[in-house]
Chains A and B, each alone.
Chain A
């Protein structure tokens, strides 16, 4: 599940070197847009698409107005994206109010898996995450777009000299990241409580996962799985709050041991 949250962050950090603290904001936009659509009688999966599109649009706007001006000042990007998330959260409060919201549709139908009753929707989520990872891997590794994106990341001035529109590539990457956030936000909506601070609690673990992952998609998946499993395991022994605390601690420590990410050993 964390995989979904992490993916958008991952491509933005990995391919742009931008730490995007606005990710939770984009997730919130995704879920609120989807919610509004569903309330107007739109089919759930179509609503998810609308949510995705809404945060992609917002991502494009944010990139145009803010991120684009800050490539030379990475630490300020962190602050600015943080500011964006504040704005988004407050904006949502203005429009929707403080209260918690929920999808009306029941998603709790159980399906037997290996003898255990497992909520069907969670299986769908796992499939969605796997699909997203697969699609992204293919795009980044095997298509010209992926190649160009990686080129810009590796050496922006040289790419510019080679005639690549660096600004456009970065814009598209950021929008893709935002879209993924919106998608993640929307599909996670039914199983999380929805309020304006939606996903803020997910940001810290997601970040650590991204930093742990380094710059590779496989690392991203590995890191999120490790963290998710850690949280679950710790939850058995401690209460959930301690489990989160311990997980964050573990991630911070791991990050120090593997500054390049889990899939690469320190040289």
Chain B
């Protein structure tokens, strides 16, 4: 078995290397084989391909639909144009100056300006709680339209004519061809390293499920601003090289139509893959430039139709299905080598300070509009205890839990923490609380669809710390309890399976394991055993008991299964109609007359 897998690996790597080498050699031979016009077209296509990669990182990987990506590219080209030309009174270029140094400085400046502009747009879009994915799409679209219009009105940009004639003449066209090919290579290399790194996982995680990323402590808004700015800087680099190579910048480079084109390349090629957009840009650009002469308009119509068809029928683009086909043909469906493994990590944990108050709630009230859900809940959560929250539907259990995990929900009364470095609750965001150790598991599994089991645990383990931008962790250190959960639930046999492909029970187990891997001080669990079999429940119960009693984690658990509660809980709080009905050990609760009348029903045996 093992040697079959090893051979599979060898062949896979070999095939990949050979294909890449062939492509690289073919590309380098371009100027030898092709005529003048072909070389020119390919040079341009390489630039566009690099640009497509920069959009793909932002949109395909991080899920930020940037409909104004052309603007960032345009800023890069404009920076070079402005620094190397002098514009006369009539808006025409009168002189071109500057050596290689000026060009390099201009490119850097352009990248900086572009990143800054994108950061401003991003900060504006993402800093707002109600922001949806549409908002950033519409705002970037508006930015693109406005920039294109404004460009025409300025004298320093050359207005209608744009700036032109400033290509760097040190290099001839063959040299520019090689430079642009190298640019594409560098962009791709950046893309490969970034997307395969631990940070690449975080980008996909944000794309898949922002809320979950926040609940694991990641500063999602800031990260999205950074990703957009990074993509913009990369686009500006490409734009700068374009400016230096072609020596032309004008308003359409900023515009809506060019932005559209970039999106089309990425969508048809395959968003979320790196080669897809490259092939999309090169093939479409090359084909359109050659066909444009014979059937100019029909060709564009065809591209538009292809775009719609791809979006509707193959949203992942053309590369993934083609890749799978190629894989079948070349590798005959041999298995992949296991990608990642788990190893137990040493984590802080002991039972010192057991029984100290960790969270104190006093007279907490909360209303959804006119519906009063919590009417003054006072309770304490103590260190290293397993506290069960029970009560009928609508009693306010989930709301209470949501409130503890999110200090920005408007509520009455007070919640105080006494955790390391965390005392204030009010106003603290979900990710802030999560970084300080308050981690929540939702009632229905909330996971990162495209991340594998191991990748999910890796991110959870970071708990809001920035993952490495280049390193790819294969041996993932997670707390022993999380490893145990994976072993007992069978998740360890599916470490390289995507979360979306797991059955419901394993998804529940994975989210639980992820919250445990984050090594919370206060773990908030909303029905962690819902939809599990009796056997699975027992496993979960054992792990949770061990976590609280032996390892000093504090657990607040919502549960409906009273038998489970009885076995597990150190203490039980009964909620009813938004207030605390009873608070005590599970025996006390069972004996309590109020609880029996109010909740359990008289027929339940004591």
Contacts and interface: CB of A to CB of B under 8 A. Distances in A.
Interface of A: 19, 65-66, 69-70, 73-76, 78-80, 82-84, 86-87, 89-91, 93-94, 200-201, 204, 207-208, 211, 239, 241-242, 244-245, 248-249, 252, 255-256, 259, 267
A93 B295 CA distance: 12
B142 A90 contact: no
B308 A80 contact: yes
B256 interface: yes
B176 interface: no
B256 A200 contact: yes
Interface string B363-392: 000000100000000000000000000000
Closest 9 CB pairs of A and B: A83-B308, A87-B304, A86-B304, A90-B301, A259-B130, A83-B307, A90-B300, A80-B311, A245-B146
A66 B312 contact: yes
A207 B142 CA distance: 10
A66 B149 CA distance: 32
Interface in B293-352: 297-298, 300-301, 303-305, 307-308, 311-313, 315
Given A204-B141, A252-B139, A245 B308 contact: no
B315 A73 contact: yes
B312 A75 contact: no
13 contacts: A80-B311, A86-B307, A87-B305, A90-B304, A91-B301, A93-B300, A94-B301, A204-B142, A204-B145, A239-B153, A242-B153, A249-B146, A259-B130
Contact of A245 (B134, B150, B303): B150
A178 B300 CA distance: 23
B37 interface: no
A84 B134 CA distance: 18
B312 A244 contact: no
A244 B149 contact: yes
Interface string B256-287: 10001001100100000000000000000000
Contacts of A19: 134
Given A69-B312, A80-B312, A93 B297 contact: yes
B543 interface: no
B491 to A, nearest CB: 28
A163 to B, nearest CB: 28
A245 B137 contact: no
Nearest to B138: A207
Contacts of A74: 134
Contacts of A267: 369
Contacts of B311: 70, 76, 79-80, 83
A65 B256 CA distance: 26
Interface residues of B, number: 37
A46 B420 CA distance: 76
B65 interface: yes
Contacts of A87: 301, 304-305, 308
Contacts of A75: 65, 133-134, 137
Contact of A66 (B124, B152, B308): B308
B49 to A, nearest CB: 20
Contacts of B130: 259
A65 to B, nearest CB: 8
Contact of A211 (B133, B138, B150, B301): B138
Query: Which of B133, B153, B267, B301: most chain A CB closer than 10 A?
Result: B301
Contacts of B65: 75, 78-79
Contacts of B150: 241-242, 245
B308 A70 contact: no
B312 A90 contact: no
A205 to B, nearest CB: 9
Given A75-B65, A91-B301, A241-B153, A82 B146 contact: no
Interface string B550-567: 000000000000000000
Contacts of A93: 297, 300-301
Contacts of B133: 75
A170 B313 CA distance: 20
A83 B309 CA distance: 9
A208 B142 contact: yes
A94 B295 CA distance: 10
Interface string B146-160: 100110110000000
Given A89-B304, A241-B150, A256-B128, 15 more contacts: A19-B134, A66-B312, A69-B312, A69-B313, A70-B311, A76-B315, A79-B267, A82-B260, A83-B311, A86-B264, A90-B304, A93-B300, A200-B256, A204-B141, A244-B146
A78 B141 CA distance: 12
A207 B312 CA distance: 23
Contacts of A259: 130
A85 to B, nearest CB: 9
Contacts of B137: 75, 78
A66 B152 CA distance: 36
A213 to B, nearest CB: 14
A91 B149 CA distance: 25
A259 B135 CA distance: 10
Nearest to A83: B308
Nearest to A204: B145
Contacts of B260: 82, 86
A80 B315 CA distance: 10
Contacts of A65: 312
Contacts of B134: 19, 74-75, 78
Interface in B219-254: none
A264 B152 CA distance: 38
Contacts of B307: 79, 83, 86
Contacts of B124: 256
Contacts of B256: 200
Query: Which of B145, B301, B308, B369: most chain A CB closer than 10 A?
Result: B308
Contacts of A76: 311-312, 315
Interface string B117-138: 0000000100010100111011
B56 to A, nearest CB: 14
Nearest to A197: B257
Contacts of B139: 252
B602 to A, nearest CB: 36
Contacts of B135: 255
A93 B257 CA distance: 15
Nearest to A79: B311
Contacts of A90: 297, 300-301, 304
